[in-house]
Structures are given as C-alpha cells and as structure tokens.
Structure 1
Amino acid sequence: MIRVLFVCLGNICRSPMAEGVFRKMAADEQLADQIEVDSAGTSDWHVGKPPHQGTLSKLTEYKVSSEGMAGRQLTKEDAEGFDYIIGMDAENIANIRERFEDADHQRIIRFLDLTSHQKDLPDPYFTGDFQETYDLVLEGCQSLLELIKKEEFAK
C-alpha cells in the first residue's frame, strides 16, 4: 500500500481539496486498493472541522467526494506512516521538516514542484480564488499520480 499525505496550514482548503481529487484519480485508475490518501494541517486551528465551504463547493461541482474529511494536525508519526508527504507551499515544507525533527523522510515534496509552475499553491482561504487552486490541484495531482505509477508500479 502506497500512502500519500497532503499538508497545508489549516487542513480545510488546499490539502483536503488535493486529498479528494487524488483519491478520485486513484480510483479512476483502479488504484484505490493500492493507494491510501489523507491530509493534515501544520496548525491545530481546525482540528475536527469539515473542509472550508469553498473547497466543498469545488469538490461538489467536480463530483469529488469529501466524505469522512475532518481537519487534523500533522504528527511526528506521519513521517513513519506515509510514503509521500506533499506540502502545499514552502512554509508548509519547513513546518513539516521541523515537526519531523530527525526523521529521515525521503519523499517530502512541495506540491507544485511536481508541475512546471514551481511555486507555492495559492491558499484560497486568503485569495478567495478556489477555482485557481482547484485547477492547480488537478494538475499537481495528475503529475503526482504519474510519478507514483512510475516509481512504485513500474517495477
């Protein structure tokens, strides 16, 4: 089982959006039984809360399930439990590495580094532009799925 964790600041906008989109992509490729997907936030502000209404609206619009999603905070144990840890921006990456302290995790990736954009994924909590974020999430998730298929399933 390949385990993927998407991480943003509050775990209510970007990371649950990516979780839902990636989960759907894996299912569409008949890989749902081989890829497990989750999301977390570096802060504890929204623990136990559902995704932001803007994220839920986009997921509903594109027929992506948000079932079972609730905010949770990144834990040190996540370093051991996930094969790919995807941070939405440079600050998230720094916070992930700080939280994991000495954990030698090989696959901590800034999300849009998987694409040609090579920048931080805009946070729609602040920008209000959930469509831009969704479009970039879609592109990043497609690139991540291709990477995982190449690295994990082409062996």
Structure 2
Amino acid sequence: MKMLMLIGKTSCGKTTLTQAINKENLKYKKTQTVEIIDGIIDTPGEYIENRAYYRALIVTSVDSDVIAVIQDCTQEESIFPPSFASIFAKPVIGIITKTDLCNDENKLKMAEEVLLNAGVERIFRVSAFNKLGLEDLKNYLIH
C-alpha cells in the first residue's frame, strides 16, 4: 500500500479516517505531532491552519507516496489556498469526510469545489463510521 499523508484542519476527521482504514476502533484522539501509523502519516490540523508550518508539511511529504487534502463536508469554509496542491512533488488527492453527517448534496458539492480549487487530482467521499468510500480509497492506495 502507498504511504498516505493526511492534511486538513483540526477536527476534520484525519485521525478517525486513519483508524477506519486500519480497521481500529474509532475513538477521538487529538493529534499533537506528526504520527505515522500503519502506512498513514497523520498531521496535526495546526500545520495547515498556520502558514508558518507549511514547510513542515512539505518536509513531511517526502516520506509519502500520496498526499490527501481533507475537507469535512459539514464545514463550509476552506482552509486551503488556491492551488495548494502544487507545493508538493507528489500526487495530491482530495477526501471529503463525515459524509454520513451530510444529507445535503449542495454541501458535498461545495466540499468538492474546495478540493478542486486546492488542485487535487481525484476526490473520494468517505465516512469512517459507515465505511462508505473506504474500499475505493484503499483500492487507489494499493494500485
């Protein structure tokens, strides 16, 4: 499986997604520092929320094969600047999280727009709780 690096704001679901991909029990855990867990690099939300930490994201990305930019579909604001993905020398995908909490297709489309503006190559819609979209994401990471 490809090494995946997750980038997204605090509470967007990065750690929960990591737990779901690795078939662990889902429990809230605040990520304080970069953690590598079974092929996934989980970054603290503060790294994208503070531009001074962009360099840390770039340096950390060297160890990854794919970078995932995470957008919580229940949040309307974007934390990612336009063409954010272009700072990485790796493929960048978008992942829309918490789709089980989003019954409004317009919110999902807004999340897609955020990710497309950030410059992602492909978008996955996932839910860690009902496992929606996880197999597609895993298949992408295997091939």
**TM-score between the two structures when normalised by the length of structure 2:** 0.49
**TM-score between the two structures when normalised by the length of structure 1:** 0.46
Which structure: greater strand fraction? 2
Which structure: greater helix fraction? 1
